[in-house]
Amino acid sequence: MIIVTGGAGFIGSNLIAALNARGERNILLVDNLANGQKMHNIADLDIADYMDKTEFKAWIESAHSLPRIRAIFHQGACSATTEWDGEYVMRNNYAYSKCLLHYCITHNIPFIYASSASVYGCGKHGFKVERSCERPINMYAYSKFQFDQYVRQLLPDAKSPIVGFRYFNVYGPREQHKGSMSSTAYHFNQQIIAQKTARLFAGCDGYADGEQRRDFVHVDDVVDVNLWFLDHPEQRGIYNVGTGKAETFNAVAQAVIAWHKQGLIEYIPFPVHLKGAYQSYTQADISGLRQAGYGKEFLSISQGVSRYLDWLNSAD
């Protein structure tokens, strides 16, 4: 059995879809479906069982014998960067992850988990997987950072595969349930359909209008990295998962407009509440991935947005 926590979420559901494409059906999907809209992400997927995240934690902590687990993909977390209840965030993202990690170490099960590029904060110190670059600026980022720190202590002596991925700006199918937290590609698509105009932030931090840059990575590439490490259990560590290339928000909007063959760009005032707490530039250092042996090229913005909009605008 393969277990995917957060399996009804954005990356988790795409991961299960890719496992299905490999012929995998013996999958336990773990999630919290309080937001029932997430069921649309999994309605076309084949799984063996579903379990609520609280029930799952109690299950693995019990003395009962469990089925043979081939791997745990731990994608579940409280991902709201605006959540400031530190006790809640640390219980869900840190303590919960530690519980699964120790279960996997005890039973020699590959543990592949989602970290986050948010650990780099505003990015002033760079985007290498190094302590000197890590400056989390919200509770979500801190919970991910602190779990990475915990993993670092255990990695030198770990016998089982442990892999953490610091995802950059992921976009693609099955993200619509995220609302305002959905990718800019998703929002620009909706705006072009509704009003034929994509709305971008005006310049900030020395960048011209729409010229702020992020490392935008298609979810298909993210899933491919996850499965590559499942197939290469000799590798372990913490890795950035991005394209390694920063692209402008203008480029994303232009790719959406090119797909629709119509549309304009409008620049809106930069929100006051985001000043000083906004990543105007991100670019993953993916040298670790390359050194581990992952050599596949990542989709460009034009390629990835086109693929995404093909799916998004033909979805049933």
Give the closest residue to 245 by CA, choosing from 217, 215, 276, 275: 215
Cβ contact 46:24 at 8 Å: no
Assigned CATH for 2-170+216-242: 3.40.50.720
For the stretch 149-186, pLDDT in tens is 999 999 999 999 999 999 999 999 999 988 888 999 99
From residue 286, alpha-carbon distances to 129, 144, 220, 262, 297 in Å are: 9, 19, 17, 35, 11
State how far the Cα of 210 lies from the Cα of 268, in Å rounded to an integer.
10
DSSP labels for 37-51? GGHHHHTT---SEEE
State how far the Cα of 253 lies from the Cα of 185, in Å rounded to an integer.
7
In degrees rounded to 5, what are phi and psi of residue 309? -70, -30
- Residues catalogued as catalytic: 140, 178
Give 173-213+246-281+303-312's CATH code, choosing from 3.40.50.300, 1.10.3720.10, 1.10.1750.10, 3.90.25.10.
3.90.25.10
Tokens of 48: 């063996």
For the stretch 42-69, pLDDT in tens is 999 999 999 999 999 999 988 666 789 9
In degrees rounded to 5, what are phi and psi of residue 27? -125, 130
**Range 278-297 average pLDDT:** 95
State how far the Cα of 212 lies from the Cα of 202, in Å rounded to an integer.
9
The residues, ordered by sequence, that sit 6+ positions from 192 with a Cβ below 8 Å of its Cβ are: 198, 256, 257, 260, 262, 263
DSSP, collapsed to helix, strand or coil, labels residue 35 as coil
pTM: 0.95
**Per-domain residue ranges of the chain:** 2-170+216-242, 173-213+246-281+303-312
H or E element, residue 27: strand 27-31
For the stretch 239-251, pLDDT in tens is 999 999 999 999 9
